[in-house]
Amino acid sequence: MFSKKGTGSWPKYYEKTGKRPPRETLLFALNEFEKYNLKGKNTPLAIDLGCGNGRDTVEMLRRGWRVLAIDAEPSAIEGINARINEEKKTLLETKICRFEGVLLPKSQLINSSFALPLVSPIDFPALWKKILDALMPRGLVSCQLYGERDSWVGDPTITFFSRSDIDALLSPLQLEYFREEEEDSTTPRGIQKHWHIYHIVARRS
């Protein structure tokens, strides 16, 4: 199956991006929990789907969340473990696996930065249902999805959405943050492309 996304070189991607600040969608979601005091009495649980080498996971741990970090790439999980101290490790559970097949525990926050689109259109609906089922009441999902004008359209391993598809997908949720981005730029692996991205934070009501 042909693929334009070059997933054979994730370590190179982590090297370039891993130490960058957390994603805007994750920061928005974490701030919502703090602003409205929604974390509850016990240490809250977040899932980071396609965590990479910890750009977002490390921030959640820093803010005192328990995190289940999931990635298919072993070097991603190695990278996270190398970045955190023993105390933070007590808050972290990791799984090296594809997220299409994994069971998700009930969680207050499900974060997936630039990873959910990397699932085929055949697998995406079941994965999205699994995410919604795992979200606790008032829980948030923070993620990026790709739009129909992205230059990777045509790759059968990636899922793309029109604006009306997005509205339908998010209809069971309450939208808290939405930014649609379109720009020509270079990927972390140095490939020129047109990005069409939806940045999303939505709440289970």
Tell me the window of 48-56, 59-67, 132-140, 162-170 that interacts with ligand SAM (CB under 6 A): 48-56
Nearer to ligand SAM, 80 or 173 (CB): 80
Contact 197, 144 (CB under 8 A): yes
Nearer to ligand SAM, 60 or 118 (CB): 118
Contact map string, positions 81 to 100, toward ligand SAM, x by CB under 6 A: -----------------xxx
**Beta-sheet strands, E only, within the chain:** 45-49, 66-71, 92-96, 107-112, 135-147, 160-161, 173-186, 192-204
183: helix, coil or strand?
strand
Which residues fall within 8 angstroms of residue 106, CB to CB, at 6 or more apart? 45, 134, 135, 136
Say whether residue 47 binds ligand SAM (CB under 6 A).
no
Could you tell me the smallest distance in angstroms from the CB atom of residue 167 to ligand SAM? Answer: 24
Interaction with ligand SAM in 10-39: which residues (CB under 6 A)? 10, 17, 23
Give the nearest distance from C-beta 204 to ligand SAM in angstroms: 21
Q: What is the CA radius of gyration of the chain?
A: 16
**Residue nearer to ligand SAM on the CB measure, 50 or 147:** 50
Lookup: tokens for 98:
């594809």
* C-alpha distances out from residue 44 to 37, 52, 67, 88, 200, Å: 11, 21, 9, 14, 21
The kind and range of the H/E element at 89 are helix 86-89
Examine residue 158 and tell whether it contacts ligand SAM (CB under 6 A): no
Report the Cα–Cα distance between both ends of the chain, in Å, rounded.
Answer: 39
Residue 50 in the binding site for ligand SAM (CB under 6 A): yes
Q: Which is nearer to ligand SAM, 45 or 158 (CB)?
A: 158
Pick the closer one to ligand SAM by CB: 80 or 135: 80
Which residues are within 8 A (CB) of 112 and not within 5 positions of it... i.e. 6 or more apart? 48, 49, 50, 131, 141, 142, 143, 144
Nearer to ligand SAM, 56 or 155 (CB): 56
Q: Which of 73, 79, 88, 150 binds ligand SAM (CB under 6 A)?
A: 73
Q: Which residues bind ligand SAM (CB under 6 A)?
A: 10, 17, 23, 50-52, 55-56, 71-73, 76, 98-100, 113-115, 118-119
